[in-house]
Structure 1
């Protein structure tokens, strides 16, 4: 049994959905668990609906939501013939879930409403894809993942109840009866049947959860690139594909900010030794990248650039050493504000940290830390990480840059500079 995950770009229009069907059809005769993301930019559009609703602008929120409705009903109308009525009825049920909420007034925290609204994207896309596959002669069973993936109520970043999710999977899925299942990534639900999400771009993680609990032969993530590359090809035209990677390497890449695989995805696969394939849905014949337990040697330099970074300078107020107590207090601030610094360097009486330039988080950190330190903030920076660096790569990437902070280990170099 294999698990496939198709991202939003792979189902963003009629042609792409037909292409997904062709890929799945080429695996006819195999047991498949298929996870599908929201179409194209649907998640962004639904986020705007949630924000507008929470700002008590009900009419505008409904107008924005109507655009999402029209986009999906139009795709269903032009894609489907015999299954259109079935699909349209199911889509309307989902529309009603959100419209019922939008006609009310927000009385709970924003993250709750975010999850109730944004989860709709995956429900709509899988409804359309499932009906199209059935119409195309690829019999499949559609599942509402909210009936399967059980989580806590930490909205927007929910944690999985693995035991109860396993029980639900064992009850709902029987490949000897139905060989192909279609369900959603990114979402789950609480004991109170309230929708939750697993974190932005969490569909990869959803696919890994199913692969782990179903003891899958492999997980394949279908993307619009040839595979995992040693740099973002949009920034580095000379980027090259990495045909093989170890689980450890991908975890490191994700930790430093590479947008290849969701950071939570690897552990469920690594725990059971399930290989991960990253393949191109535009050209399925390409070999892609295989990620597994095997250690891969002689990798080229791998480049990760994070933009919109800030450098926070923290200086002891009385020129005393930055010892245990100030550091303990600082890390408590990180925990309370849910901040993960990208780089920290400690001196005798000062400390510097680089973090993502989210204005709200930077302001909250500066305010809280000012009780302990004198605080200065420098914005508009970039953080470069080079895995498996060499002198040539360092010279090329840092030439002419004003470097503010750097750290080097045996395998990894990080450099913060002015953009």
Structure 2
């Protein structure tokens, strides 16, 4: 039993889906749990639908969703002949699920509607891929992961109920492998006990794959990406990014913590608990070895560079010049917990403190307003958070040249700088 996860870039058009089929053909005797993300930039497109709907722009939201529909229908037409009509029935059910919602008026918080709308991306992509695999003779069973993954109602960053979900995997998923060699399902999404769709956080498909691997006692997990393996930096930002052949769990958790997009922050723990190796494989050339992530020490790593853009700096100063002590910090953490805000960097001083956050305007504004009861608050936007593990002087100087360092934290292994 292996778990394969294919990201959005791996199913972004019909040619990529055909290549996915070619990869699956290379494992004719393997039981495969295949986890798939939304096609290409579908998640971004559906986010715009959610934003328009929540802003009361119903016609704009419907028009934006129509573009998503047409994109998927076009891909299906290129890929399918005999399985096209059954697929159309399935896709129309998903289209209707969103369109009914778009004709309503928003009465709940944005994150709830975000999840109800955005989750359809994975449902559409997996339905198309499953139908295509059946079309080319690779028999498989499609399942709706929302019937399996039970979560809480922390929309956009839901937590999985492991106990209930394991029961569902045992009852629903494991028996499928006695009839089919391959099961296809969605990453990134789940469902509450009220039958409301949830998402597990951006890039959550990796996490889905890891949870399935844990619950199915898989031999390993392979995440198929558009790079030859894990790189020490984003190759889209750094032309000289270096390939890394192996990493250990701890290093990848550190990379994820600082914002590296190659592996979802939650992905490693389920694998580490059962010592399941994770492979990051090249979608364009399956013969390449990729990167293996395991529990063994790895030495002599190059500087690992993580860039997070669209950052906000909140500067909080006590109104009465009292120390930023236990009570103000406790109050601040309570405010962040209520808003589900996770700071990327915190630096405290005698009578002030600084918070670096992702620029999510709805949450940042609410936090700034709540904090203004105890602090004078200043907000600075348009910043970039640079984190470098295993740094050296040359790398730091090169990456900060011509930049203003607004905030800096440094340890023996890692340096973080907020840059303007």
Distance 2:153 2:351 in 1: 41
Q: Which residue of 2 aligns with 1:111?
A: 111
Alignment of 1:290-305 (within 5 A): 290-305=292-307
Alpha-carbon distance in structure 1 between the residues aligned to 2:245 and 2:14: 30
Residue 276 (structure 2) pairs with residue 306 (structure 1):
no
Q: Deviations over 1:331-382 (max 9, x none)?
A: 2222223222222222222222322233333333332222222333333322
- 2:417 aligned partner: 415
Q: Which residue of 2 aligns with 1:47?
A: 47
Relative to structure 1, is the Cα distance of residues 408 and 313 closer, same or farther in structure 2, using a 3 angstrom cutoff?
A: same
Between the aligned partners of 1:217 and 1:310, the Cα distance in structure 2 is: 42
Please say if 1:273 is aligned against 2:310.
no
Q: Which residue of 2 aligns with 1:138?
A: 138
Matched, 1:177 2:166: no
Change (3 A) 1:75 1:310: closer
CA distance in structure 2 between the aligned counterparts of 1:417 and 1:107, rounded to whole angstroms:
38
- Distance of 2:45 and 2:404 partners within structure 1: 38
Can you list the C-alpha shifts for 1:379-419, whole angstroms capped at 9, x where unaligned? Answer: 3322221101122222322334332322211111112232x
Partner Cα separation in structure 2 for residue 102 and residue 382 of structure 1: 35
When structure 1 is superposed on structure 2, of 28-37 and 380-389 the one drifting more is 380-389
Whole-angstrom distance in 1 between the partners of 2:21 and 2:115: 29
The equivalences for 1:17-416 within 5 A come to 17-173=17-173, 174=175, 175-416=177-418
1:272 deviates by 0.9
Other structure's SS at 2:231 match: coil
Structure 1's unaligned 5+ residue stretches are: none
Moved more, 286-295 or 53-62: 53-62
Once residues 137 and 41 of structure 1 are traced to their aligned partners in structure 2, the CA distance between those partners, rounded to angstroms, is 28
Distance (Å, rounded) in 2 between the aligned partners of 1:337 and 1:78? 44
Instruction: Provide the alpha-carbon RMSD of the alignment.
Output: 1.7
CA distance in 2, matches of 1:99, 1:399: 49
Aligned-residue offset at 1:96:
2.1
- How far, CA to CA, are the matches of 2:98 and 2:362 in structure 1? 28
Could you tell which deviates more after superposition, 185-194 or 140-149?
Answer: 185-194
Alignment partners' CA distance in 1, 2:277 and 2:337: 33
Cα distance, 1:78 vs structure 2:
1.9
Alpha-carbon displacement from aligned partner over 1:138-197 (angstroms, at most 9, x marks no partner) = 111111111111222222222212122112112223323211000111111222322222
Worse-matched range after superposition: 360-369 or 233-242: 360-369
| Cα displacement (A) at 1:317 | 2.4
Q: Deviations over 1:38-80 (max 9, x none)?
A: 1111122222222222333333322222222222122112211
Q: 1:94 to 1:393 in 2, by over 3 A?
A: same
Provide the C-alpha distance between the structure 1 equivalents of 2:345 and 2:109, rounded to a whole number of angstroms: 31
Cα offset, 1:217, TM superposition: 0.5
Distance (whole Å) between structure 1 residues aligned to residue 156 and residue 354 of structure 2: 30
Determine helix, strand or coil for the equivalent of 2:380: strand
Q: Please, what TM-score do these two structures have when normalized by structure 1?
A: 0.95
Which range moved further: 22-31 or 322-331? 322-331
**Secondary structure at the counterpart of residue 354 of structure 1:** strand
Greater shift after overlay, 203-212 or 319-328? 319-328
Q: Deviations over 1:266-304 (max 9, x none)?
A: 111111111111111011111111111112111111111
Alignment partners' CA distance in 2, 1:184 and 1:337 = 28
3-state SS, counterpart of residue 133 of structure 2: helix
Q: Residue 291 and residue 335 in structure 1: after superposition, are their counterparts in 2 closer, same or farther (change >3 A)?
A: same
Q: Is the CA contact (8 Å cut-off) linking 2:203 and 2:261 kept in structure 1?
A: no
**Structure 1 residues 118 and 362, CA, compared in 2 at 3 Å: closer, same or farther?**
closer
- 1:13/1:345 Cα in 2 relative to 1: closer, same or farther (>3 Å)? same
Give the superposition deviation at 1:116: 2.0
Corresponding residue pairs, total: 418
CA distance in 2, matches of 1:320, 1:146: 50
Preserved contact between residue 140 and residue 180 of structure 2 (Cα < 8 Å): yes
